[in-house]
Amino acid sequence: MGLYHPESPGAHPLARGGAIGEFVERIAAGLTDPRRHEGLPAEVRRLQDRGLAVAGAPPHLGGELFESAYRLRGFQRFMADLLERPALVDYLLDQLTAMSLRNCVAIVEAGVDVLLLDDDVAGSHGMLISPATWQRFFKPRMIQLIETARQVRPEVRVFYHSDGDFTRLTPELVEIGVDVVNPLAPDCMDAAAIRRALGPRPAFWGTVGTAALWDTGTPDEIRREVARSVAEIGPAGLVLSPAYDVDFTPRANIEAFIEAVRDIGQGAT
Amino acid sequence: MTPRDRVLAALAGDRPDAIPCALGFFQQPLFGARDGDELFDTDVRFVGFDPSPDQEDFFSYLDSLPPDVHVGSVAQLRVYEEWGSTIPRVPAHIRWPAAAL
């Protein structure tokens, strides 16, 4: 018995369109409460004083726009909305965008080096929505978020995450100001081909390992995978990171990753 | 270069003196540590908003679950609960169906 699944009964608080207004009043007020980020500037400074890069994400339900919307409405319902109820989609996405704008400003004002934006718009074999649908509903709102962040601090770096294969979006992500994409899972995307096609922008954050490799592979296999990533994609414009969550990964494999980054990553530059 | 210098150089498409690394793109507890990136001394740390003060009851509920129940990241569960996107909480008599035997 699971506690949560995106398609569980009861998991879609906005399954009825009429509940959206109530959502804005009740949920968004808490999510934009300034008391929840009043300590952030000091925390960011403390970490940067240690010489560390600091990345921050606004609160979201899995992702800023597409993912939040479908988790609130239900996946099948929201996919139908995109075709049949564009006014409702626009209204819901406008509410999510307004909330994200406030929270992105708070994160960037706190001084983070990297603003983390996130929206899973792709599955393992390609986009979950067409590029035209992304351009109609999501691209303009992503532009709003990025341009607003850069008005606050022009030097902030913008990061974009989507699971799966979002290769078709990468040129447009660069166009709207994304600096770095993640995770470029090697069983979903060909990062080397994207690098050859687009050059040094966007930078890549991730690229290392399949889910199976992280959880069931050996430390030697992890080291070879780091070496492959550096050889094919690096050394410029690359932050090495597991391309999948590592919460079930053996400690030896994480240690092998860190050692390999230190050994191979230093030797490569 | 500091870790921060390396990350900023990499994100600008440049070639730092060593390739920087992270364990993901959000703070994740690993092997009993609150922050895996701190535990393994990577180049990045992740920050975000504090939890809602209204969620103390939910945290108490999570604390009440048996230690061998994997419920995922507490941070993620906190977000789902705050957005109202969660199934109803599991009553104790269903969580431990054989407790009364």
pLDDT, tens only, B39-55: 999 999 999 998 887 77
Say which amino acid occupies A257: F
Nearest-CA distance B13 → chain A (Å): 4
Q: Does A5 contact B87 at a Cβ distance shorter than 8 Å?
A: yes
Contacts of B61 in chain A (CB under 8 A): none
Per-residue pLDDT, A2: 47
Q: Does A118 contact B25 at a Cβ distance shorter than 8 Å?
A: yes
Does A262 lie at the interface with B, CB-CB under 8 angstroms?
A: yes
Tell me the angle at which helices B74-82 and B56-63 cross, rounded to the nearest 10 degrees: 140
Of A44, A107, A239, the CB nearest to B20: A239
| A242-254 residue pLDDT tens | 999 998 999 999 9
CA–CA separation, A10 vs A29, rounded Å?
22
Task: Give the alpha-carbon dihedral of B45, B46, B47, B51, to 10 degrees.
Answer: -130
CA–CA separation, A47 vs A105, rounded Å?
20
Does A24 lie at the interface with B, CB-CB under 8 angstroms?
A: no
Per-residue pLDDT, B88: 55
The pair phi, psi for residue A241, each rounded to 5°, is -160, 150
Determine the residue among B23, B25, B26, B34 to mutate to test chain A binding: the one whose Cβ has the most chain A Cβ atoms within 10 Å: B25
Q: Does A53 contact B3 at a Cβ distance shorter than 8 Å?
A: yes
Q: Which residue of A has its CA nearest to B43?
A: A52
Mark which residues 118-147 of A lie under 8 Å from B by CB.
118
Does A2 lie at the interface with B, CB-CB under 8 angstroms?
A: yes
Contacts of B40 in chain A (CB under 8 A): 254-255, 258
Per-residue pLDDT, B87: 55
Per-residue pLDDT, B55: 79
The answer to whether the bond into A202 is cis (omega within 30° of 0) is yes
CA–CA separation, A157 vs A145, rounded Å?
13
**Taking CA B58 as the corner, what is the angle to CA B57 and CA B64, rounded to the nearest 5 degrees?**
90
Does A268 lie at the interface with B, CB-CB under 8 angstroms?
A: yes
CA–CA separation, A86 vs A83, rounded Å?
7
Does B66 lie at the interface with A, CB-CB under 8 angstroms?
A: no
CA–CA separation, A240 vs A153, rounded Å?
26
Query: Domain segments of chain A: what residues?
Result: 14-181, 183-269
Tokens of B73: 């990241």
Q: Does B25 contact A241 at a Cβ distance shorter than 8 Å?
A: yes
Q: How many CB atoms lie within 10 A of CB A183?
A: 25
Per-residue pLDDT, A1: 39
**What stretches in chain A show pLDDT beneath 70?**
1-11, 16-18, 24-25, 267-269
> What ipTM does the predicted assembly reach?
0.93
Per-residue pLDDT, B41: 97
Contacts of A31 in chain B (CB under 8 A): 49, 82-83
* CATH assignment, A14-181: 3.20.20.210
Query: DSSP characters for A12-71?
Result: -TTSSGGGHHHHHHHHHHHHT-GGGGTTHHHHHHHHHHTT-EEEE----SSSSSHHHHHH
Nearest-CA distance A175 → chain B (Å): 15
E strand intervals along A112-212: 114-118, 122-123, 126-127, 157-161, 180-182, 203-208
Quick one: what percent of chain B has pLDDT higher than 90? 44
Nearest-CA distance A107 → chain B (Å): 8
Mean predicted lDDT score pLDDT of chain B: 83
Does A73 lie at the interface with B, CB-CB under 8 angstroms?
A: no
Q: Does A114 contact B85 at a Cβ distance shorter than 8 Å?
A: no
Does B64 lie at the interface with A, CB-CB under 8 angstroms?
A: no
Tell whether the model's pLDDT for residue B77 goes beyond 60.
yes
Contacts of B77 in chain A (CB under 8 A): 3-4
Does A9 lie at the interface with B, CB-CB under 8 angstroms?
A: yes
Whole-structure pTM value: 0.92
Per-residue pLDDT, A151: 98
